[in-house]
């Protein structure tokens, strides 16, 4: 069940972690790594393929008023999107470190889509307050990138994270 189905959450942005499909983790391994980040994270909707490889999960972070839907994709669509992102990120003033990342990005054939949701807090007058803290998003993106030796990208901003 996606967080889109919960009316108390609102989608904010989607981030990618791109990597080589040979680095795809098992669901059990990813569950352990994310749980270790913060003992207040609640993991739900955990799914794996028939061999136990990660497919998807949801991370709820009540302290940050956020949730993350994370899903795995691979194949031609991912390869095309990685090439497209590399073109967008390849600018004349690109630093050397970013050039190396661009080369790696062009070789990616798998990715995690990380959909970031804000938990809405409504008051008696119906007004919503912005309580979102991006901490959960940032630490989970870094953990996913570390686990897969991948690259975390904000496609809307056109930047590596």
Task: Tell me the two tokens of residue 23.
Answer: 């680095």
Angle formed at CA 61 by CA 55 and CA 66, multiple of 5 degrees? 90
- Predicted TM-score (pTM) of the model is 0.90
Q: How far apart are CA 130 and CA 122, in angstroms?
A: 10
Quick check: 106 pLDDT over 60? yes
Quick check: 128 pLDDT over 80? no
DSSP symbols for 76-115: HHHHHHHHHHHHHH--TT--HHHHHHHHHHHT--EEEEEE
For 6-35, write each residue's pLDDT tens digit: 788 999 999 999 999 999 999 999 999 999
* 5-35 residues labelled b (16+ CB within 10 A) or e (exposed): eeeebeeeeebbbbbebeebbebeebbeebe
Quick check: 46 pLDDT over 80? yes
Which of 38, 3, 42, 25 is closest to 138 using CA atoms?
38
Average pLDDT over residues 76-88: 93
Q: Could you tell me which residues are beta bridge partners of residue 14?
A: 115
Token pair 């994310």 in the structure block, residue: 34
Give residue 76's pLDDT band: very low, low, confident or very high (50, 70, 90): very high
Average pLDDT over residues 91-118: 86
Give residue 93's pLDDT band: very low, low, confident or very high (50, 70, 90): low
Quick check: 91 pLDDT over 90? no
The number of distinct structural domains making up the chain is 1
| Residue ranges making up the domain that contains 68 | 3-160
């Amino acid at each position: 069940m996606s967080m889109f189905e919960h009316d108390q959450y609102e989608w904010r942005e989607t981030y990618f972690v791109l990597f080589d499909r040979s680095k795809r983790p098992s669901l059990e391994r990813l569950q352990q790594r994310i749980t270790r980040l913060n003992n207040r994270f609640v993991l739900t909707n955990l799914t794996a393929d028939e061999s136990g490889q990660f497919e998807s999960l949801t991370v709820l972070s009540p302290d940050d008023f956020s949730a993350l839907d994370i899903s795995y994709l691979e194949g031609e669509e991912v390869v095309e999107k990685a090439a497209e992102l590399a073109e967008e990120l390849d600018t004349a003033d690109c630093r050397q470190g970013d050039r190396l990342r661009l080369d790696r990005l062009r070789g990616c054939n798998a990715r995690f889509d990380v959909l970031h949701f804000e938990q809405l807090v409504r008051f008696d007058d119906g007004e919503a307050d912005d309580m979102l803290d991006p901490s959960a998003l940032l630490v989970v993106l870094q953990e996913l990138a570390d686990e897969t030796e991948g690259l975390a990208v904000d496609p809307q901003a056109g930047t590596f994270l």
